[in-house]
Structure 1
């Protein structure tokens, strides 16, 4: 812009103003060189939903933090705190933002791992930038940048280098260029569209700051770069999480047109501003909206089309007043612009009307600005106190640890000496005369212990099994429980103690697993497989080992993957009850369970095959039996609800083709990965 009389925010450089209010908003949701844990992936996925579903985003990140706390994993807690800090930054919740950033930074002192420390420095650098401590923000972000470089996390390096470039402007143009070029280099290595767009915006800002008047060649070079950036943003809009960056790309290009040779390309100028306005309204990005309206209004004012300029500013005010919140800064800006338009039109009645509204919102804007300054000052003070306190505690802990080690060393030496003296005296006096009696007594005690342990184990397991069986009456087949316990009782009566104890243990373990998992939102795939093994082996006991089973996992399947609990067992029960159990005795039953992981679709495919009588024969038997499979209906309802988050969730029950395969049933179960 070449004038300062129309739009208050654009007194120097409109592009610089837009970017300066959006630092450090963009944290990665991509794979890094070092393998991320399942908890970190959950937190990152929650953070990626911050634009589309804020409530779900915070909930998922909090769940990830709770899991990290439950496992007492410091590294995962640091990363979860860092994601939550960046989320609160976007929501402008300064108190929570400061709390999570300080928590991440404090815990980072307890680990030497690169990635968690890099995230903690990133969160702290973002906080310092937000509260206008630019020098400290640069120091923390540079520390984070170096750590992510060691981890070869090029996507993170691209974004952090971009933000460092903004912070060095306009004081150090050489460093602005240096980090903008480094951002482009890391973005090309990362290869993801989010990082590439972020880096190109930073380098575009550098090009805009270095434009010279009447230098058409440099302007043309910048225009080609900015047009390429917009094409990239439009082509990959669906994969770019930070929608504000797309709006900034349009604003950059429009602003560049306004700085070009006269007359400017008005059509291209207005087209890019209209696209920026659409992005701003769709994702509620106020700075993009203000910039787009302001540039259009300034253009029409400079052109002398005061009617269009006035209508534009009025439209901006009307849209802002329709929202559930009030942006006093934006309203004051638009009314100030309307004042200038009225003055140029010499409509003094309108001028005084606009001036009254401007004075009202300007006062409210001033109050908010003052309050924000005070809040920033409080946070700066509290944050500084916490950092000093952390350093003091670290020194105190180091001293205490040294004193403890010294005390433990002295005590250990004394204890070893006393033990050695006692052992030497005792064994010298007592060893030979008590050796034979001691061995006999030990043998008698061992036999007695074995008998007592066998008796207590059977009695305790039977009592536990009785209680858990009553609690699981609505979750497990009563016929299965009765038959399994009957077989186990027969073994006990026949004095087959060890097999009986083994199967009782499996049965008790299965009931405990079902109870525990029914109270959880998610379990690991390995826990589900262990539960299925116990259940199937008890079914084998019930059917006198009338069938065999196999559980297979592809190499791509991660066994610590989190899935909803108790989804697979009902289909195993149906395969045994309605497929394998009615099969003729001459045919040896076979149950096969196979797991495949689809990372792109975020689901786990479980395929269940049996060589039983098949669907058609099973339906004929069901006509004679009024029993309904309640567990299968419940599973179907659960999967239907999960389809809101994962459209691939569901299952299919198919008849196996006898011509190409063999008789039996095939179940394909798509399980969402949480």
Structure 2
């Protein structure tokens, strides 16, 4: 979820600001209209703060510069200024300086995807600004906190978004109100379901009101893109709403989105509007118009000064979908080539960004450790200074105690110096261990991910599937071939997408398993039946690691059901039940195949073991570090040795 940072402080929000702070605020306000002038004014304010040796003003100037460089995507400058704001705030007891520095550090941590630390800093800033009655900043920080909770607790998402709107209404500032209403609208949009008309209507009415308020005060709103976001979200609500959709309302809001994006030169909003129009016409079956729109989106993206490989991959994926529906296989092949190219670039960028953020997190932790060490040294110096004053007073009382006092003083200094040196050595060792553990953990994760990508599907399964498709085409069974190809392409895309995510929902896992077993049934001439059962109390929205179950289903089909004689129909059952108190999802896979003993006998001279199964064992071993109950059990299905049962205990992702 994107976190928007917009600061427009009224003078009464946190008391009367100093002239230097006012100057920095005015410079920051120019970031959308003139970036160079904005940075120059903020640097001038910082120079004045340094000349006056004012730690509070320096901390606030550093915080503004950090947030400006975040918008410019300058990670090094962003990190440097955020750390500087934190260091300067540590030199003063000013709550305002500490609030600004915590806000800058929270923004940095969210940018490098260290969400746990980001929440710590933002909650600290939220508390400090609330005490200072800086309601404008509370509204914005509350909104950003709700976005950080989006993948976790929905209750906290609603809590902080509603609080942000309450603070924004107290300020009466249009910029703050729009920012907070978008946060509330975000969770309403996530909750709106087409089959729940009341909830869907509530979300629509909320966005309509948001747009009316934004248009009324458009001149006072600096971040014009937020107005475009409101129109885009409302158009999405109509397109995904109850069927038949209100096409007039959808097209009206889409046209307003395009008009606003052109009026304020909002490139991302305009690009989103092209994609929405393409999806709309594709749903209506007007493939020619949809295809032209997706091509227009690709051409427009390529004219922009920056590349967005993820958007280009999405456009080409939509073009592939259209070609498949039109049975235009040559176009499908061409679009798939471009999709594969940009999807690879997207993945490479994601891997590089992950490495960059890991390095940034390490450097930030190193900087924090150094700051703490300096603070300890400062405290020691102050204590030594006080001790010196005490000794001087004692010396004035009489020369009798001079030698004794001098002896203990030297001994005290020596002990403190030894302790300080030992602490420095410990900190250096801790930093080395942290760096080693970080790099080893990242290397292990990337190695396992590469191996997982290489074992996503059994090559024999792929070759057999393609052979079946070729056979159907030679037999001129075009409809069946197209259906098979569509299912095969969908399964391939699902496996590739899920292998690059940390977690997927149980519903997505069930959909992938269903598609996989349908292809296996077609390949094996419908020689077996399958059932997928999910207990009523099990929430299909819960999140689990991807690609854990499929290798065991594949083993059941290949080594249990496939060898059955034609006279004996096969049966495969997959049952899901949740043990929420243990944070586990229990998956039971049962087949009526030839059994473990017979399968091992037939494979007595075959030393091959499935690569996917080995990697799954390794992944479960890694998961046991966080949840010791994660494991897999395999045993015979019946006392006579026929059939097989596999019980997987999978950790539920928070």
* Fold conserved between structures, TM > 0.5: yes
Aligned position for 2:167: 186
- Pick the aligned partner of 2:121 from 137, 140, 148: 140
Distance, in Å, in 2 between the alignment partners of 1:284 and 1:105 is: 36
Kindly state the Cα deviation for residue 326 of structure 1 after the two structures are TM-superposed: 2.2
Instruction: Label 1:206 to 1:133 Cα distance change in 2 as closer, same or farther (>3 A).
Output: same
Listed one character per residue, the Cα deviations across residues 149-183 of structure 1 (whole Å, up to 9, x for unaligned) are 01101111011111111111242111111111111
Whether 2:244 is the aligned partner of 1:259: answer no
Q: CA–CA distance in 2 between the matches of 1:43 and 1:399?
A: 35
Partner residue, 2:7: 27
Question: Are positions 1:130 and 2:114 aligned together?
Answer: no
After TM superposition, list the pairs within 5 Å mapping 1:499-518 onto structure 2: none
Q: Which residue of 2 aligns with 1:556?
A: none
- Aligned 8 A contact 1:24 1:160 in 2: no
Corresponding residue number in structure 2 for 1:61:
42
Partners of 1:413 and 1:238 in 2: how far apart?
Answer: 70
- Which residue, out of 218, 237, 260, partners 1:237? 218
Unpaired stretches in structure 2, ≥5 consecutive residues: 400-654
Q: Tell me which of 354, 360, 363 is aligned to 1:373.
A: 354
* Unmatched tracts of structure 1, length 5 or more: 1-19, 419-674
Structure 2 equivalent of residue 363 of structure 1 = 344
2:250 corresponds to 1:269: yes
Tell me the distance in 2 between the aligned counterparts of 1:159 and 1:258. 29
Secondary structure in 2 matching 1:326: coil
The alignment's C-alpha RMSD in Å is: 2.0
1:299 pairs with one of 259, 280, 288 = 280
Relative to structure 1, the CA distance from residue 60 to residue 294 in structure 2 (aligned partners, 3 Å threshold; closer, same or farther) is same
Indicate conservation of the 8 Å contact 1:258/1:269, yes or no: yes
Name the residue aligned to 1:160. Answer: 141
Partner of 2:20: 39
Identify the residue that residue 302 of structure 2 maps to in structure 1: 321
Distance in 2, matches of 1:133 and 1:207, equals 26
Deviates more, 1:127-136 or 1:316-325: 316-325
Confirm or deny: 8 A CA contact 1:257 1:265 kept in the other structure. Answer: yes
Counterpart in 2 of 1:629? none
* SS of equivalent to 2:5: coil
Q: Which residue of 2 aligns with 1:81?
A: 62
Number of the residue aligned with 2:290:
309
Asked if 1 retains the 8 angstrom alpha-carbon contact of 2:271 and 2:301, the reply is no
Match of 1:330 in 2: 311
Contact 1:43–1:80 (8 Å) recurs in 2: yes
| Stretch of structure 1 that moved more, 343-352 or 395-404 | 343-352
Deviation of 1:347 (Å): 2.1
TM-score normalized with structure 2 length: 0.58
Q: Note if contact 1:290-1:330 (Cα within 8 Å) is conserved in structure 2.
A: no
Q: 1:74 to 1:344 in 2, by over 3 A?
A: same
The 5 A counterparts of 1:447-526 are none
Distance 1:399 1:320, change over 3 A: same
Which residue in 1 is equivalent to 2:372? 391
Q: Is the 1:226–1:253 contact (alpha carbons within 8 Å) kept by the matching residues of 2?
A: yes
Any idea what SS the aligned residue of 2:199 has? helix
TM-superposed CA distance for 1:212, in Å, is: 4.0
Question: Aligned equivalents of 1:122 and 1:24: distance in 2?
Answer: 13
Contact 2:275 2:297 in 1 (8 A): no
Partners of 1:281 and 1:359 lie apart in 2 by 31
Change in 2 beyond 3 A, CA 1:417/1:66: farther
The structure 1 residue matched to 2:98, chosen from 92, 112, 117, is 117
- Over residues 568-615 of structure 1, what are the superposed CA-to-partner deviations in whole Å (9 max), with x where a residue is unaligned? xxxxxxxxxxxxxxxxxxxxxxxxxxxxxxxxxxxxxxxxxxxxxxxx
Distance 1:206 1:271 in 2: 24
Post-superposition offset of 1:284:
6.0
The 1:292/1:257 distance shift into structure 2, 3 A limit, reads same
Equivalent residue runs for 1:512-551 within 5 Å: none
For residues 275 and 371 of structure 1, do their structure 2 counterparts lie closer, same or farther at Cα, with a shift above 3 Å needed? Answer: farther
Tell me the distance in 2 between the aligned counterparts of 1:162 and 1:52. 24
How many angstroms apart in 2 are the aligned matches of 1:62 and 1:276? 37
Question: Would you say the 8 A contact 2:301–2:307 is kept in 1?
Answer: yes
Aligned pair count reads: 398
Quote the Cα distance in structure 2 between the aligned partners of 1:285 and 1:380: 32
> Quick check: 1:29–1:48 contact (8 Å CA) kept in 2?
no
Matching residue within 80, 83, 90 for 1:102: 83
Map Cα deviations across residues 444-496 of structure 1 (whole Å, 9 max, x no partner). Answer: xxxxxxxxxxxxxxxxxxxxxxxxxxxxxxxxxxxxxxxxxxxxxxxxxxxxx
Mapped to 2, the partners of 1:365 and 1:210 lie a distance apart of 29
In the TM superposition, residue 94 of structure 1 has moved relative to its aligned partner by: 0.9
> Is 1:247 matched up with 2:223?
no
Q: Distance in 2 between matches of 1:174 and 1:324?
A: 40
- Structure 1 pair 295–397 and aligned structure 2 pair: CA distance change class (3 A): same
What TM-score, normalized by structure 1, do the two folds share? 0.57
How far the C-alpha of 1:357 sits from its partner, in A, is 2.1
Does the 8 Å contact 1:24/1:126 carry over to 2?
A: no
Q: CA separation in 2, counterparts of 1:274 and 1:133?
A: 38
Shift in Å, 1:293: 2.7
Measure the CA separation in 1 of the matches of 2:56 and 2:259.
40
Change (3 A) 1:278 1:136: farther
| Cα distance in 1 between the residues matched to 2:283 and 2:207 | 24
Q: Residue 126 and residue 279 in structure 1: after superposition, are their counterparts in 2 closer, same or farther (change >3 A)? A: farther
- Give the distance between the partners of 1:362 and 1:193, measured in 2 at CA: 40
Q: 2-side partners of 1:344 and 1:106: how far apart?
A: 59
